[in-house]
Structure 1
């Protein structure tokens, strides 16, 4: 009967309790089940005839590949994402990348929190380890570890708020430029929201077959994309810390300091390398301001953003090598970016410097880094993903 409260011992209540106990007891397995369930769900959604522009069911392999791509926010595709899918299909893509951008571990923790109304110790350890690789070392650091475990709930709230605020702000800033490009208000509104989501989640899909062609030299548009991609790639733990102590670097954790420092060095170093390598190549004929803008944009997008204002197929070998290296590193831990993560690269360099100086301990920002973190970094690099080059741009020449 409608409105009748569910009894304590009813089947739905027992199922919810069982799922909650499972999520608390084995959060890693629960996260795998969440990932598998989401992939299967979106594969079914992409297989629906209304999801394609032709009105015919998408081939199963394309539906499954697209489902995995949007959940993993890889930005890879087997079809033309702008034209193959219908407006409903693009809605599925939008929802999928939002879920994938948050991250399966974070989503599993949120679901476990909703179902069980609490976060177990294993869930907190898993979430804390995903947010900060330094937490995965053996032993327990009472001063820092306990604080971060107790703050896991706040981090989850930060994830939800930052996704909403940053994407909305980026969409508002992109909307006028799309109106000036000739789009009607409805199209400009939808495409600005869609593009902002693809930027923050570092996915790189675009709703228009023209790609970034109309905005290839628009400083405002490209800078907004870079900022949105940067916020997504730097990681939710860093955003969480900056939102609490934006002007007090002394209160930042070692993980946050390493992430920001390495992130900015890679951005600037990549831009400088691409500027020099493409001075007489892809950037020939551009004024100095555009050369600098395009170099920083390529460096930012190569890390995981996926957008491109140049035809990647026409880049020289040296530029492609720099791009591949930046893509291999990616962004920060617990971010929407891929790669081995910037903290892993920082740990490797700190270990090399310590070995060159003949000292046993690695140090950074006057903090000692345990040796077992170095072993974890080496393992990540050895088993790390191979970089895939950005997709060719549809920019007009």
Structure 2
């Protein structure tokens, strides 16, 4: 009887969707670490040390792209396939794959599985969760297939790669691009393709599509001709994205135009392409066609801000999300105007959404500041380089100024934690650690204080 009660108590601790998501991602990281620690996962045939395997597995599952070793030189084909599989699992979401497997096996989706899927994919309602999961997987695979075909043809015809090798490169980078992982099979990322629009624009399109978020993409496919029927989520996501992409491009072009180590070495048309690519990648993809380490510190700050904002909700991108950033902008604007409610278009924003946006932003800033301080103590690098690394890890972007491999083991462990927390999300991770939810059954008297 005691064993039964004890087992029930243990199981009850995992009934909250947030706790299940943390547990599932943790298990995926551990399994990936074990697979990458196998001798035949490396080119040398020797087992990778546990921290390198853990760092790579976490970076893959959390679709970040940071690396402590040269992926193409250190890992074997088996290791590269493991990394691609982990990226695919992390992009779709553990709960999405588990729920889809339940549908395929039993033909029905239970209430608890629906709750898990809803929490992972941020679905608005539960009625269409099963249908949504199927569409998510099909759309992801179809998008990756299109990108893989384009890249394969380009590698084969433009760079003389054999058909098999071209297909391997095309599929691998299609997976890493759509899932916003930013992992490449070249030591210089995509710098060798800086002037190739077929490679850069295809990768950028995959990154932007995957980073918009599945609810937004599906709504656009369903009623793209009727913007008046778009939801608030779609409008905010598209508006903020439409502002950040050209603004980021202009900032990079204006700052790096004459830098002989970045844009200054290119033709004018290639500079525009490279500037756009540099603005699109910080949404959460760690690809770079320019040498990040040779950029001016002002460009690093621009990248920090873009990485912090990230991409759309319920997609493969990281950051606080463009919706959170957009909501905060409307909250500030309404407060400056002295309005009692936050109105966006013809809709009033719930106070719960406002509190959630503020909480996510404050927690994210706090985590970044604390982690930056700790990493500054652990490493000899400058503040701008360390902050760049911390923001990149926490927002699961994967861009780096080139100091990742030079950080101490303790610093690598900190980056692993940042990537994991950043992928799960501050609120999800926090609620998973909470012992229980508490609902206050009474209201206290109100007292205003001086703010500012």
Note whether the superposition's TM-score is higher than 0.5: yes
Find the residue that maps to 2:183 and give its secondary structure: coil
Equivalent residue, structure 1, for 2:360:
380
Distance change (3 Å), C-alpha of 1:23 and 1:253: farther
Select 1:64's aligned residue among 51, 54, 70. 54
Equivalent residue, structure 2, for 1:390:
399
CA displacement 1:262-287 (0-9 Å, x = unmatched):
11211111111111111222322533
Counterparts of 2:335 and 2:115 in 1: how far apart (Å)? 31
Distance change (3 Å), C-alpha of 1:209 and 1:320: closer
Select 1:329's aligned residue among 285, 309, 323. 309
Counterparts of 1:123 and 1:28 in 2: how far apart (Å)? 12
Contact 2:39/2:48 (<8 A) preserved: yes
Counterparts of 1:196 and 1:86 in 2: how far apart (Å)? 19
Give the deviation of 1:81 after TM superposition: 1.1
Contact 1:24/1:120 (<8 A) preserved: no
Give the deviation of 1:67 after TM superposition: 1.4
Give the deviation of 1:122 after TM superposition: 5.4
Distance change (3 Å), C-alpha of 1:257 and 1:23: farther
Equivalent residue, structure 2, for 1:350:
330
Select 2:189's aligned residue among 211, 235, 250. 211
Distance change (3 Å), C-alpha of 1:69 and 1:131: same
Contact 1:171/1:195 (<8 A) preserved: yes
Equivalent residue, structure 2, for 1:171:
148
RMSD: 2.4
TM-score by length of 2: 0.75
Contact 1:22/1:30 (<8 A) preserved: no
- Confirm or deny that 1:78 pairs with 2:68: yes
Structure 1 residue runs without a partner (length 5+): 1-17, 136-144
Runs of 4+ that moved beyond 6 A: 21-24
Select 1:29's aligned residue among 16, 19, 35. 19
Equivalent residue, structure 2, for 1:224:
202
Equivalent residue, structure 2, for 1:259:
237
Contact 1:166/1:228 (<8 A) preserved: yes
Give the deviation of 1:102 after TM superposition: 0.7
Equivalent residue, structure 1, for 2:426:
none
CA displacement 1:86-137 (0-9 Å, x = unmatched):
00111101111000011234334435545775444555455445545xx8xx
Contact 1:312/1:391 (<8 A) preserved: yes
Task: Give matches, 1:179-328, under 5 Å.
Answer: 179=156, 180-209=158-187, 211-281=189-259, 282-328=262-308
Segment of structure 1 superposing worse, 351-360 or 288-297: 288-297
Task: Give matches, 1:77-156, under 5 Å.
Answer: 77-111=67-101, 113=103, 117-121=107-111, 123-125=113-115, 127-128=117-118, 130-132=120-122, 148-156=125-133
Give the deviation of 1:214 after TM superposition: 3.2
Contact 1:31/1:108 (<8 A) preserved: no
Counterparts of 1:82 and 1:264 in 2: how far apart (Å)? 35
Contact 2:191/2:290 (<8 A) preserved: no
Equivalent residue, structure 1, for 2:44:
54
Counterparts of 2:335 and 2:120 in 1: how far apart (Å)? 28
TM-score by length of 1: 0.84
Counterparts of 2:328 and 2:121 in 1: how far apart (Å)? 19
Contact 1:27/1:108 (<8 A) preserved: no
Count matched residues: 361
Counterparts of 1:76 and 1:304 in 2: how far apart (Å)? 11
Distance change (3 Å), C-alpha of 1:334 and 1:51: same
CA displacement 1:62-90 (0-9 Å, x = unmatched):
11121111111111122111110000111
Counterparts of 2:138 and 2:291 in 1: how far apart (Å)? 36
Contact 1:354/1:361 (<8 A) preserved: yes
Find the residue that maps to 2:148 and give its secondary structure: helix
Contact 1:34/1:108 (<8 A) preserved: no
Counterparts of 1:199 and 1:177 in 2: how far apart (Å)? 16
Segment of structure 1 superposing worse, 341-350 or 100-109: 100-109
